[in-house]
Amino acid sequence: MAIPLPPRPRIAIVRFSALGDVVMVSAALKALQRALPDAEITWFTSPLTYSLLHRMPGVQFVVIEKPRTFSDYRAFYRRFSERDFDVVLAMQANLRINLLYPALHAPIKIGFDRTRAREGQWLFCDQRIPFHDDHLVDSFLSFVEKLTGQAAEAIWDLPIDEVEHAWANEQIFNFKTSLTPALSQRARERRQCIAIHPHASKAERNWLPERYAEVIQKSSGGIVLTGGDSLAERTLCQQLCAIAPDRTLDLCGMTSPKQLAALLGKVDVLIAPDTGAVHIARAMNTPVIGLYAVASPKLTGPYQRTEYCVDRYPEAVRKYLGKDPEQLPWNTRVHHRDAMSLIEVDDVLQQLTRVLDGAK
């Protein structure tokens, strides 16, 4: 049943991070706009995620860093003391964000169910989405369904402009041209590009560098390395680039979020662990070979496109938790440093062959 709303409801969405989560929320946002085309939507988010989201039609953004000090919270409360919303969709549940919800005046505040309403979020929300043990995208869609009473479908339309697409096209064209100068232009255009985003935000999700190196050695076509600007990421990508420098393009630390999205939309496939690049590639409709052992791809994999993922999560649960994966909720993580070592090079190469054969 839909929640009664005024003709032009003022809806606040609260989701600051991480980049992959924000991409998933953006699919729910589009579903919300389709269901309530006259709604005035305000999204509270961080500068990094806004750099991907800005210029999204029909959305006003409040861009701030996550509060850290009492002064930060006091400034936030003062800023919104006289602003009212009809609905707050509390799509992030941790203590630093939960403490912002009382400052947002609205008669309806929808949060996560008690199972997922971490760190007391349920104290600040008067309504909750139902609990389902499903993909993270589905949990965000549940906010739309709770509000509108209608089934919601994920819709991706990231605001990537022509300037970002032109940049990505230039990178890929120049790279393909440099691969085999002796080939005709037609042959160069058919060369396939494999993107590898080898580093996740949490070390336990990272695959072994030597196995990435072996994949590069045994694969054909061009390799495009992507990642953030941290020393660890740049060092890893430099090491991987040295494996086959004549057919590797290292763009680690050199892309904005919008450029990364545009670039991942141009390659034939992405290989990556459980990280935000997976969801960006999914939004750009690029096949993803996701590497999963710490969490299930049913929870955090490329939404409804997990057919190319390497899923060693059930094996990791049995080996390191000593439990039956069928008896555990999907959101159970295997926090063991050796979990990702269960993924073999041949697992990835087999999926790579499937993807690239299908892309011809």
Q: What is the pLDDT of residues 125-143, one digit of tens each?
A: 999 999 988 999 999 999 9
Report the 10 Å Cβ neighbour count for 57: 8
Q: CB-based burial of residue 8 (10 Å sphere; 0-12 exposed, 13-18 middle, 19+ buried)?
A: exposed
Q: Where are the domains of the chain?
A: 10-148, 162-359
> What region, left, alpha or beta, does residue 322 occupy, with left being phi > 0 and alpha being psi -120 to 50 degrees?
left
Cα(337)–Cα(104) distance, integer angstroms: 41
Dump pLDDT digits (tens) for 188-209. Answer: 555 789 999 999 999 999 999 9
The model's pTM is 0.94
pLDDT at 120: 93
Three-point CA angle 349, 266, 258, nearest 5° = 115
Percent of the chain with pLDDT over 90: 89
Look at the alpha carbons of 24, 27, 31, 36 in this order and tell me if their dihedral is positive or negative.
Answer: positive
pLDDT at 181: 64
Hey, which residues does 288 pair with through a beta bridge? 270
Dump pLDDT digits (tens) for 38-77. Answer: 999 999 999 999 999 999 999 999 999 999 999 999 999 9
pLDDT at 182: 46
pLDDT at 238: 98
Percent of the chain with pLDDT over 70: 96
CB 226 within 8 A of CB 171: no
CATH of domain 10-148: 3.40.50.2000
AA identity, residue 139:
S
pLDDT at 183: 43
Please, which pLDDT band fits residue 184 given cuts at 50, 70 and 90?
Answer: very low
pLDDT at 20: 96
Please, which pLDDT band fits residue 351 given cuts at 50, 70 and 90?
Answer: very high
For residue 42, CA distances in Å to 13, 62, 114, 275, 303 come to 6, 7, 25, 26, 25
Average pLDDT estimate for 175-194:
69
pLDDT at 178: 87
pLDDT at 270: 98
Residue 49 or residue 330, greater confidence: 49
CATH of domain 162-359: 3.40.50.2000
Indicate if the pLDDT at residue 292 is higher than 50.
yes
Indicate if the pLDDT at residue 240 is higher than 60.
yes
Please, which pLDDT band fits residue 174 given cuts at 50, 70 and 90?
Answer: very high
Q: CB-based burial of residue 63 (10 Å sphere; 0-12 exposed, 13-18 middle, 19+ buried)?
A: middle
For residue 197, CA distances in Å to 81, 207, 358 come to 43, 11, 21
Average pLDDT value for the chain: 94
Long-range contact set of residues 227-233: C-beta below 8 Å, sequence gap at least 24: 227/197, 227/198, 227/199, 227/252, 227/253, 228/199, 228/252, 228/253, 229/253, 230/199, 232/199, 233/198, 233/199
